[in-house]
């Protein structure tokens, strides 16, 4: 190796500037994950406000306008601040190591993608302190509530979304370019680990829909400040058009938040079942099918806006179709476990809970697809239960599973298994106490996004609130476990393989993974 090349094998810079200037995929991955954790806690506090107010009927703590700000900010922060950055963080850490690449293909863009986000979220968060308050029109920001009737802070919300969108698009481009160009010799597409596959498909979804989101918020900006009437019926515009454009982004967005989870869970279930993943090829095709279908189902979020009958039927059928590839994935995971030799370390527990609870969320999704029945479910707590089942014990559990699974590789120490199990069981019980009763109150007729409710919903709401607080506080166990492992460095040193017979290139480098890995590409057989 030449002296010049050796020069570049220095470790990280010291101090704060290391994190500002870094172009290293591992540093950037860590920063994304920490940002996501911070957003999870902030969004969680907002959920606490919501659940405290809903603990019993009547207004106790906040006024309805502030309640709406909390539901809006909770949704925005969890979707754009917690789940999405967490998956980008995982992609940064894992994609180069899984394909045998030294780093992401575009490291400086990678740095910029990350550093845009603290500013975007700083701007979004600052709206809470502005006159008129934060955005209060729901994370779906339907016009004209979000245009003619919005608080002045909506403009800051729009710019914040623009910046997040730029960050996401650059991140997605980076993932695609890395995967296309930097795979180790011998790593053909159909040999790529599923996490890489699911992220590749996710990245295409991001590139396709983030510009649509940018478009829709720009039209809002025009309506608010420049006198246009894109969404104002009185000026010849169309408020329903807003919803079409929003959901054309919004539905693929839902899959952006779940496809990488599918990848994570596939790795973990196979590792702890000590068995190769069942149906790798069909997993890849199922993921691609879900992604493609996600572009033609958007109006199932709009069954009650008065679509024509034929439109209603089309979107009902296409939505029902999604159940097929999703079912294939679930069946494959179950079959992977079948006749395996299973152990139940924390990542596996979270992964199994993912399969069960995500399936419950998927099945309620199937119910929601039936348009006539959806007239009874739409915009009730049944929907709230449905999407929280896919996003909390779905996306979030998969992220937690991934952190426990790869943390020893990242920091070189095993986490505290007993604390991990406490974290799992508390979360598992609490998440069901929180979200399962929501199905019933929704079916019984409680609309979502209301600060107060009729008396027949009181008992279940109290239970839900207790569950939510329990769930929130359980996450502190996770934070403590991370602290103990990463900062205090308690816990035994991790081996290179970490888990028995773990498959994949990331397990062929030492633990902790050196600052630079795969300077020489490995050969994949």
Partner 1 sequence: MNRVGISAVSALLLMTASFSALADWGLNVPKGVTSVSHQVHDLHMTIFYICVVIAVIVFGVMLYSIVYHRKSRGAKASNFHESTTVEIIWTLIPLLILVGMAVPATSTLIDMYDHSDAELDVQITGYQWKWRYTYVNEQVDFFSNLSTTQEQIENQQEKGENYLLEVDNPLVLPVGTKVRFLLTAEDVIHSWWVPDLAVKKDTIPGFINEAWTKIEEPGIYRGQCTELCGAGHGYMPVVVKAVPKEEFDSWITEQSKLQAAAREVRDMSFDELMAQGEAVYKTYCAACHKVDGSGMPPVFPALKDSAIALGDITKHIDIVVNGKKGTAMAAFGGQLSVSDIASVVTYERNAWGNSKGDFATPKQIKAFKDNNK
Annotation says 280 is catalytic:
no
Binding residue (CB under 8 A) for partner 1 from 366, 429, 470, 509: 366
φ, ψ of residue 13 to 5 degrees: the values are -65, 170
Annotation says 18 is catalytic:
no
Is 452 among the residues that bind partner 1 (CB under 8 A)?
yes
> Closest Cα to residue 273, out of 335, 181, 225, 231?
335
Is 371 among the residues that bind partner 1 (CB under 8 A)?
yes
Site for partner 1 in 112-171 (CB under 8 A): 131-133, 136-138, 142, 144-145, 148-149, 151
Nearer Cβ to partner 1, position 364 or 474?
364
Site for partner 1 in 426-445 (CB under 8 A): 440-441, 443-445
Is 282 among the residues that bind partner 1 (CB under 8 A)?
yes
Contact indicator for 522, 98 with CB cutoff of 8 Å: no
> Closest Cα to residue 148, out of 240, 231, 213?
231
Q: Which uninterrupted H or E stretch holds 41?
A: helix 25-53
Site for partner 1 in 384-423 (CB under 8 A): none
Residue 111 Cα distances to 25, 106, 170, 176, 405, angstroms: 9, 9, 10, 16, 25
Is 65 among the residues that bind partner 1 (CB under 8 A)?
yes
Is 311 among the residues that bind partner 1 (CB under 8 A)?
no
Residue 290 Cα distances to 49, 252, 432, angstroms: 35, 9, 26
Is 467 among the residues that bind partner 1 (CB under 8 A)?
no
Annotation says 25 is catalytic:
no
* Cα separation, 417 vs 424, whole angstroms: 10
Joined tokens for residue 338? 């079948």
Site for partner 1 in 66-105 (CB under 8 A): 68
Residue 308 Cα distances to 44, 226, 299, 372, 494, angstroms: 39, 32, 11, 13, 60
Among 274, 448, 484, 490, the active-site one is 448
- 180, with CB counted inside 10 A (0-12, 13-18, 19+), is exposed
Annotation says 359 is catalytic:
no
Joined tokens for residue 335? 């079959």
Is 54 among the residues that bind partner 1 (CB under 8 A)?
no
Is 454 among the residues that bind partner 1 (CB under 8 A)?
yes
Joined tokens for residue 162? 């623009």
Is 207 among the residues that bind partner 1 (CB under 8 A)?
no
Among 153, 326, 346, 465, the active-site one is 326
* Cα separation, 144 vs 83, whole angstroms: 28
Is 57 among the residues that bind partner 1 (CB under 8 A)?
yes
Among 25, 26, 74, 388, the active-site one is 74
Task: Tell me how many residues contact partner 1 (CB under 8 A).
Answer: 97
Residue in this structure with the two tokens 């773990």, named with its chain if needed: 502
Longest CA–CA separation in the chain, Å: 76
Binding residue (CB under 8 A) for partner 1 from 20, 63, 225, 523: 63
Is 484 among the residues that bind partner 1 (CB under 8 A)?
no
Is 355 among the residues that bind partner 1 (CB under 8 A)?
yes
Q: Radius of gyration of the chain from Cα atoms?
A: 23
Joined tokens for residue 24? 């290293």
Annotation says 167 is catalytic:
yes
φ, ψ of residue 105 to 5 degrees: the values are -70, -30
Instruction: Give least dist CB 110 to partner 1, A.
Output: 34
Is 241 among the residues that bind partner 1 (CB under 8 A)?
no
Binding residue (CB under 8 A) for partner 1 from 320, 429, 509, 524: 320
Instruction: Give least dist CB 210 to partner 1, A.
Output: 24
Instruction: Give least dist CB 92 to partner 1, A.
Output: 29
Binding residue (CB under 8 A) for partner 1 from 61, 122, 189, 317: 317
Binding residue (CB under 8 A) for partner 1 from 275, 300, 386, 423: 275
Dihedral over alpha carbons 160, 161, 166, 168 (to 10 degrees): 120
Strand partners, 447: 380
In sequence order, what DSSP letters do the residues of 146-185 get, joined into one string?
A: TTTTS-TTHHHHHHHHHHHHHHHHHHHHHHHHHHHH-PPT
Is 188 among the residues that bind partner 1 (CB under 8 A)?
no
Annotation says 103 is catalytic:
yes
Annotation says 113 is catalytic:
no
Q: Select from 180-188, 196-204, 364-372, 401-409 the region that touches partner 1 (CB under 8 A).
A: 364-372
For the chain, report the end-to-end CA distance as a whole number of angstroms: 25
Annotation says 266 is catalytic:
yes
Catalytic residue set: 74, 103, 139, 167-168, 251, 253, 255, 266, 300-301, 326, 329, 448
């Amino acid at each position: 190796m030449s002296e010049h090349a050796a020069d570049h094998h220095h470790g990280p810079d010291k101090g704060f500037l290391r994190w500002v200037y870094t172009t290293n995929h591992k540093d950037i991955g860590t920063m994304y994950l920490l940002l996501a954790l911070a957003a999870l806690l902030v969004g969680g506090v907002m959920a606490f406000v919501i659940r405290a107010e809903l603990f019993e009927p009547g207004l106790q703590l906040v006024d309805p306008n502030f309640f709406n700000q909390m539901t809006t900010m909770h949704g925005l922060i969890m979707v754009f601040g917690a789940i999405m950055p967490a998956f980008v963080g995982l992609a940064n850490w894992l994609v180069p190591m899984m394909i045998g690449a030294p780093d992401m293909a575009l490291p400086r863009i990678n740095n910029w993608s990350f550093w845009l986000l603290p500013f975007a979220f700083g701007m979004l968060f600052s709206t809470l302190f502005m006159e008129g308050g934060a955005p209060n029109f729901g994370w779906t920001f339907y016009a004209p509530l979000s245009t003619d009737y919005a608080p002045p802070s909506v403009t800051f919300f729009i710019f914040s979304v623009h910046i997040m969108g730029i960050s996401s698009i650059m991140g997605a481009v980076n993932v695609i370019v890395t995967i296309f160009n930097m795979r180790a010799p011998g790593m053909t597409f159909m040999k790529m680990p599923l996490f890489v596959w699911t992220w590749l498909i996710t990245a295409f979804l991001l590139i396709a829909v983030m510009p649509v989101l940018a478009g829709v918020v720009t039209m809002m900006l025009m309506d608010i400040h420049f006198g246009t009437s894109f969404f104002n019926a009185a000026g010849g515009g169309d408020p329903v058009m807003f919803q079409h454009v929003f959901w054309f982004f919004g539905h693929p967005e839902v899959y952006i938040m779940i496809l990488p989870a599918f990848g994570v869970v596939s790795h973990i279930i196979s590792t702890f079942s000590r068995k190769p993943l069942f149906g790798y090829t069909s997993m890849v095709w199922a993921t691609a099918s879900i992604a493609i279908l996600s572009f033609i189902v958007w109006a199932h979020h709009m069954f009650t806006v008065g679509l024509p009958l034929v439109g209603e039927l089309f979107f009902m059928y296409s939505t029902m179709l999604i159940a097929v590839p999703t079912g294939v994935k679930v069946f494959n995971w179950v079959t992977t476990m079948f006749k395996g030799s299973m152990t139940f370390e924390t990542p596996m527990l979270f992964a199994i809970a993912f399969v069960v609870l995500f399936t419950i969320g998927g099945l309620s999704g199937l119910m929601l697809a039936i348009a006539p029945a959806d007239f009874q479910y739409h915009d009730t707590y049944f929907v709230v239960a449905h999407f929280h089942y896919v996003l909390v014990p779905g996306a979030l559990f998969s992220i937690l599973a991934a952190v426990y699974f790869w943390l020893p590789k990242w920091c070189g120490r095993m986490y505290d298994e007993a604390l991990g199990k406490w974290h799992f069981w508390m979360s598992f019980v609490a998440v069901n106490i929180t979200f399962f009763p929501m199905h019933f109150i929704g079916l019984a007729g409680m609309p979502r996004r209301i600060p107060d409710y009729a008396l027949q919903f009181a008992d279940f709401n109290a239970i839900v609130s207790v569950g939510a607080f329990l769930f929130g506080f359980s996450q502190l166990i996770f934070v403590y476990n991370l602290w103990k492992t990463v900062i205090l460095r308690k816990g035994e040193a991790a081996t290179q393989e970490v888990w028995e017979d773990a498959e994949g290139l990331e397990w062929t480098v030492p633990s902790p993974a050196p600052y630079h890995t795969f300077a020489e590409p490995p050969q994949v057989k």
